[in-house]
Amino acid sequence: MKPIDAAIFLLKMGNSAGVAQQYDLPTYMQEALKQKDGERKKRKEMQKLREQIDDHDEDGEIYQYYQNNHPDWYNNWRQGGGE
């Protein structure tokens, strides 16, 4: 019997599903890792966006303070004065 014939015979036996599944396990594992990586990347992107919004809000408070408490200087600065 040739090696290819032996392999085909083995796959045709009742235990062939187990052999095929074990053969595909690395492929299944890689796909699962890709999916988890995609989920992780999405969570990181959403967290980064939330942090950018928080930073923007904090910066806005500072600008608002100077605009309210030092309006002449702030307006001059916004128009390019003092450079």
Residue-wise pLDDT tens digits, 44-61: 999 999 999 999 999 999
CA distances from 74 to 15, 60, 82, 83 (A): 79, 13, 10, 13
Distance from the Cα of residue 4 to its chain's centroid: 44
In the chain, what are the domain boundaries?
Answer: 16-78
SS3 label, residue 81? coil
Q: What are the residue ranges in the chain where pLDDT is below 70?
A: 1, 7-8, 10-23, 82-83
Please answer whether residues 11 and 20 qualify as being in contact, where contact means their C-beta atoms are separated by less than 8 angstroms: yes
Residue 50's pLDDT is what? 93
